[in-house]
Amino acid sequence: MNEDLDVLVIGAGACGLCAAIAAHDQGLSTAIVEKMDRPGGNSALSTGSVPAAGSRFQREAGIDDGPENYCRDLMAIAGEADNADLVRLMAQVSAETVEWLIDDVGARLKLVTAYKHIGHSVPRLHAPVSRRGIDLVDDLIAAVEKRNIPIAVGNSARELIVEDGAVRGAVIDAGNSSPFDIRAGKTILAVNGFGANRDLVARFCPEIAGARYFGAHGSAGEAVLWGRKLGAALDNMAAYQGYAAVADPHGGLLSWTTIEKGGILVGADARRFGDESTGYSGYARIVLAQGDHAYAIFDQRIFDIAAQEEEFRELSDYGAFKKADRLHDLAMACGLEAGTLSEEIDRYNASAAGREGDAFGRKEFGIAPLRPPYYACRVVPGMFHTQGGLRIDREARVLRGSGEPIPNLYAGGGAAAGISGRSGALGYASGNGLLTAVALGRIAALSAARALRVDRQ
């Protein structure tokens, strides 16, 4: 069989970069095609936080954790899923994956102990010190370059080459020349989900279709579109990651630490509208339902904690926050009705101090009651990425509805169905996106290597 490569990787985000590194380290010839002018995709926009349960970094920090505990956490937040087996697998391989990233790939990740974030009963996120996914992507690219793995940017896979039901590579469109074929023994789809495809979002995730999309534009849904043509099964298609507080008009994430530590969200009418401790993903839909924007209100002590994060400091430098010693002045600066805001804060503070029950059932108040000086940030809800995708098995092979693998085709990251439950954004635990990207990218490459050895015996 005439093949240009052992493994063709489509997409140069965390999943594709990890897949290519792992394939190369298995002694395979591999290359990555990337449709955009630079690698990174959503992975570069993320905070770069990857969960690992039972990592040696947790042990060194005295944190007792393991796959069973993590799996329980994932199931508790995600509920019913089409692919419970994959949830278990991700929990099982999370520690070895993060240790591989740090030890073999050279990623500069550190265990985050300052916060746990939604869905985790213990600190288990490992992230770049900057909390910027671009730093993780830079480390992955350095590892790819060190291994001389070709990355062809501006080269979009237009369709898969399929012969006798088996995938044999892809047709590549470089824009300025005729499309050409890259033939490969195995093909790994690392093209992420369909967040940038408004039609698919409206069809599969209608509850968030009205929100702005803040992910990368490359996530146009090819995995779903190509997979369907090949008879692939799709799982968890209504699941997605939302974000309840994107700073407006700056477009950066307002760190959810502001809310977890005791901040609140009020609408344009200066009233709270729900239980903010629902989490940044699940709460996005609630923010969208109450109006087109809202205001996060927090205080100086919370500001000082969140200021440990680079993006938060940047937002502050860009003038995203209003600050005032008196709630009246804060309200005026935001165009909110001052009496109503004071009333809301008084009521919330009474709940945080345990004097009365919270109107929306919030139980965790961080270091609230809030006290002066106060801060406000105008925010809008956003959609970050979709969590539904191709059904895969424990080897990351893409499956037909019958359970049969489609020969030679693998998927990981947002191209495959995720681990955030069957629908909505409530099931998204921090790190679910990147864990399935890095872990399944690596698993797909290792499985492809095993299969190629068998094919060639």
Query: Which residues would be at the binding site for ligand FAD (CB under 6 A)?
Result: 10-16, 33-36, 39-43, 45-49, 156-157, 190-192, 214-216, 218-220, 222, 241, 253, 384-385, 413-414, 431-435, 437
* Exposure b/e, 69-79, CB count within 10 A at least 16 = b: bbbebbbebbe
Query: Can you tell me the distance from the alpha carbon of 269 to that of 291, in angstroms, rounded to the nearest whole number?
Result: 10
Q: Find the shortest distance in angstroms from Cβ 326 to ligand FAD.
A: 34
What residues form DSSP beta bridges with 14? none
Nearer to ligand FAD by C-beta: 175 or 354? Answer: 175
Number of Cβ within a 10 Å radius of residue 265? 24
Minimum CB distance to ligand FAD smaller for 13 or for 279: 13
- Closest distance to ligand FAD from the beta carbon of 25 (Å): 18
Residue whose CB is less far from ligand FAD, 67 or 374: 67
Residues 212, 380 contacting (CB under 8 angstroms): yes
Q: Name the residue nearer to ligand FAD (CB basis): 193 or 366.
A: 193
Q: How far is the CB of 34 from ligand FAD (least distance, A)?
A: 5
Closer to ligand FAD at the Cβ: 58 or 432? 432
Q: Which is nearer to ligand FAD, 211 or 437 (CB)?
A: 437
Residues 6 or more apart whose CB falls under 8 angstroms from that of 176 comprise none
Closest CA to 190 of 29, 400, 422, 409: 409
Strands (E), 305-421: 321-324, 374-386, 389-390, 397-399, 405-411
Q: Could you tell me the smallest distance in angstroms from the CB atom of residue 414 to ligand FAD?
A: 4
Smallest distance, ligand FAD to C-beta of residue 127, A: 7
Number of H helices, E strands in the chain: 15, 20
Closest CA to 396 of 443, 449, 451: 443
Least Å distance between CB 43 and ligand FAD?
Answer: 3
Pick the closer one to ligand FAD by CB: 327 or 411: 411
* Residue 222 CB, nearest approach to ligand FAD (Å): 5
In degrees and rounded to multiples of 5, residue 344 shows phi and psi of: -65, -45
Nearer to ligand FAD, 22 or 33 (CB): 33
Residues contacting 304, CB < 8 A, separation 6+: none
Q: How far is the CB of 400 from ligand FAD (least distance, A)?
A: 21
CA R_g for the chain: 23
**Residue 256 C-beta: closest distance to ligand FAD, Å:** 11
**How near is the Cβ of 376 to ligand FAD at its closest, in Å?**
22
SS3 assignment, position 425: coil
Residue 72 is inside which H or E element, if any? helix 67-78
Comparing CB distances to ligand FAD, the nearer of 423 and 432 is 432
Q: How far is CA 320 from CA 213, 265, 317, 402, in A?
A: 20, 15, 8, 52
- Give whichever of 336 and 417 is closer to ligand FAD, judged by the CB atom: 417
Residue-wise DSSP of 202-222: HHH-GGGTTSEE-S-TT---H
Can you tell me the distance from the alpha carbon of 251 to that of 247, in angstroms, rounded to the nearest whole number? 5
